[in-house]
Amino acid sequence: MPICSYVVVPADGARGAVAASLASLPGCDVVPAENADLLLLVTETDDLDAEAALRTRIEAMPEVRGLVLTFGDVDPDTPEADPLSRTFRKAVSSLPDTP
């Protein structure tokens, strides 16, 4: 059962709406940051395919500007071809470049 945490960067002015949308998803707990316009998202899913599907769903939300994996409790022997490991590598480039 994968347990992961993410930093979610909502679009300007959308933090409340994004928090509500994420909290309504099964297996998601959301905590707003106190000193920044960010959210901490903790997910718990049944398997790696479900975690990858959840991540894809969150990334597709127009109000989510960035999603960064900060922790993933995944077996170190997970093969590279695993669907979740692909999304972990994608997380590095999910935020837009800023000057």
Looking up tokens 């049944």, which residue turns up?
46
In the sheet that holds 64-72, the strands lie side by side as 28-32, 39-44, 3-10, 64-72
Of 5-9, 16-20, 45-49, the poorest mean pLDDT is in 45-49
Per-residue model confidence (pLDDT) at position 91:
43
Per-residue model confidence (pLDDT) at position 86:
52
User: In terms of pLDDT, which residue wins out, 80 or 8?
Assistant: 8
The tens digit of pLDDT for each residue in 27-78 reads 999 999 998 899 999 999 988 889 989 999 999 999 999 999 887 765 555 5
C-alpha 99/C-alpha 96 separation (Å) is 10
